[in-house]
Amino acid sequence: MRVLVAMSGGVDSSVVAGLMKEAGHEVIGATLQLYDHGAAVQKKGACCAGQDIHDARRVADILDIPHYVLDREARFRSAVIEDFADTYARGETPIPCVRCNQTVKFQDLVALADDLGCEALATGHYARRLDGPELHRAADPTRDQTYFLAMTTRAQLGRVRFPLGDMPDKATVRAAAARLGLPVAEKPDSQDICFVPAGHYAETVAKLRPETAEPGEIVDLEGRVLGTHRGIGRYTVGQGRGLGIGGGERLHVAAIDAPRRRIVVAPREALPGQEVIAGEVNWLAEPPAVPIRVQARLRGREPPRDATAHWNAAAGLLRLVLDEPNVVAPGQACVLYDGPRVLAGGFIRRAARAAA
C-alpha cells in the first residue's frame, strides 16, 4: 500500500521508512518544520527543524523515496507554544508533546496522507496498534510512548501504524538502521522540549506571557508569607528545589495561585491528592456508564497506579479516585489503562489532597 511516513530526522522514524519500503510498500516521507529553522540549526537534541530536516532528506535520498517538508511554524506556535505559555500563566504544568501529537502532527499528517492518496500514516512512536482500532503499550516498557499518544482519536488511530511497537529495545532499532545503511544509526535521541533553547523554559514563557515573570509571595498552607519568588512560570507542583527558602524542613510546591501570583508550599507529605478531575477527555474505548477499575498514569515517567474512574458524560469530566494518594500536577495528561490497552486520555484540571 501507499504509506506516508512522518520523518523527524531521528533514527526511529528513519528506520520506519526503511522497514516500510523493505516490506514492499510505496513510501512517501514527510517532515514538519515546526519552529524557526535558523535558530535551530545549531541546537542539538531537537527535532523538526535545522539539521534534523537535512538528516530526514538524506535518509529519503538513500531509500530513494519522495520527501516533503511542510512549513507548520505558525500552526505549531498557536497550538503548542502559545498553549505552553498559557498553561504556565494559569499556574499549571504543560505537556507540549501531547499537544503537538494531538494537533499538529496527527491532524496535519493524516490530512496530508489523504491528499497524497496514502492508505496509512506510519510514525516512529513506541506503541502498538491493534485492530479495532486499539492503542496498546509498546513491547519495550522503557520506551513506551502511549502516554503521549492518548489524545489521538479513534479515527486517526485507524490510519496510523507503529512499526517499532514490537521492537524489544532501542539497540534493535539502531541495528536495523545500520543494516539498512542509514547515516543516523547512532544519532542521539532528542531531549527536553524541542522549542526551548538550552532547557530555559521560564525565559521562553516570560517572553510570551510577561506576567509569569512578575515576583510574588511564597506562602504556606495557612497563608503565612515565607519568602518571595521571581515568577510563577518557574514553578510546578511537586517542585522542591530552587524555592529559596532556607532553614527548617524541606518544602515543596503544593499549589500555584496564579491570580494572586502566589506559590503555596508545604511538606511533601501534605502534597499527595486522592481525587483527580480531568477534562478534554478522549475515549479510545467505549465510555463507561458506571465506575470502572483502571490503572492511571499521571506523569510520563511514572508507572500507572490503581484507581477507580467515574465518567460524567454530561459534564465531559473524568473523576479519578486513586487507591494511593499521589502528587498531582494540573495541566499534565491523565491516561487510563486496562492492562496494556489505553482506554482514554485527558488533561488534569484539579486535584484534592487526601483526607487527614
Question: At 329, which CATH number?
Answer: 2.40.30.10
Residue 47, pLDDT score: 56
**Is the pLDDT reported for residue 322 higher than 60?**
yes
pLDDT at 35: 77
Q: In this structure, are 284 and 167 located in the same domain?
A: no
Q: How confident is the model at residue 39 (pLDDT cuts 50, 70, 90)?
A: low
With cut-offs at 50, 70 and 90, classify the pLDDT of residue 161: very high
**Which of 251, 270, 289 is the last residue before a domain boundary?**
270
Asked if residue 167 and residue 108 are part of one domain, the reply reads yes
Is 206 inside any structural domain? Answer: no
Q: Which long-range contacts (CB under 8 A, 24 or more apart) does 173-180 make?
A: 173/11, 173/12, 173/15, 174/11, 176/15, 176/18, 176/19, 177/11, 177/14, 177/15, 177/18, 180/15, 180/18, 180/19, 180/22, 180/63
pLDDT confidence band for 301 (50 / 70 / 90): confident
pLDDT in tens, 326-335: 999 999 999 9
Q: Which one of the listed residues 47, 97, 118, 194 is annotated catalytic?
A: 194
Name which of 98, 74, 88 is nearest 208 in CA terms.
Answer: 88
Same domain, 74 and 150: yes
Catalytic status, residue 100: yes
Question: Is the domain of 219 the same as that of 345?
Answer: no
Element (H, E) at 182: none
Residue 2: phi and psi, rounded to 5, are: -85, 125
Query: How far is Cα of residue 159 from the mean position of the Cα atoms in its chain?
Result: 20
Burial 244-279 (b: 16+ CB within 10 A, else e): ebeeeeebbbbbbebeebbbbbbeeeebbbbbbbbe
193, part of any domain: yes
Q: Order of strands across the sheet with 67-71?
A: 67-71, 26-33, 2-6, 120-122, 160-161
Say yes or no: 36 and 147 in one domain: yes
- DSSP codes joined into one string, 216-261: EEEE-TT--EEEEES-GGG--TT--SS----SSS-EEEEEEETTTT
* Confidence at 211, pLDDT banded by 50, 70, 90: very high
Q: Which range has the worst mean pLDDT, 46-55, 65-74, 333-342?
A: 46-55
Is 82 within the bounds of a domain? yes
* 170 & 295 share domain: no
| H-run or E-run covering 284 | none
- Does a cis peptide bond (omega within 30 degrees of 0) precede residue 133? yes
Q: What is the mean pLDDT of the chain?
A: 92
* Per-residue pLDDT reduced to its tens digit, 232-286: 999 999 999 889 887 678 999 999 999 999 999 999 999 999 999 999 999 999 9
Of the residues 136, 169, 197, which one is the last residue of a structural domain? 197
Grid cell listed for 123: 510514525
pTM: 0.92
Average pLDDT, stretch 183-206?
Answer: 85
Q: Are 310 and 252 members of one domain?
A: no
Q: Same domain for 144 and 231? A: no
Domain boundary among 227, 246, 270: 270
Q: Is residue 48 annotated as part of the catalytic site, yes or no?
A: no
Residue 207 lies in a domain: no
pLDDT, tens digit, for every residue of 55-92? 999 999 999 999 999 999 999 999 999 999 999 999 99
Domain extent, residue 37, equals: 2-197
CATH number of 250's domain: 2.30.30
The answer as to whether 23 is a domain residue is: yes
In a domain, residue 205? The reply is no
Q: How many structural domains is the chain composed of?
A: 3
Asked, for residue 204, whether it belongs to a domain, the answer is no
Question: Which residues lie closer than 8 Å to 330 by C-beta, 6 or more apart?
Answer: 91, 92, 93, 237, 348, 349, 350, 351
Q: Identify whether residues 282 and 263 lie together within a single domain.
A: no
Query: Do 293 and 252 sit in the same domain of this protein?
Result: no
Local structure of residue 26 (DSSP, 8 states): E
> Is the sign of the CA dihedral 251, 253, 257, 258 positive or negative?
positive
Query: What CATH code is carried by the domain that includes residue 147?
Result: 3.40.50.620
Top pLDDT among 75 and 39 is at: 75
C-alpha cell at 158: 485507524
Same-domain check for residues 293 and 192: no
What is the per-residue pLDDT across 10-21, written as a single tens digit (0 to 9) for each?
A: 999 999 999 999
- Average pLDDT of the segment spanning 280-296: 98
User: Per-residue confidence at 354, pLDDT binned at 50, 70, 90?
Assistant: low
Task: Considering the candidates 47, 100, 118, 334, report the single residue annotated as catalytic.
Answer: 100
43 vs 116 pLDDT, higher one: 116
Residues 125, 261, single domain; the answer is: no
pLDDT of residue 41: 47
Answer yes or no: is 202 within a domain: no
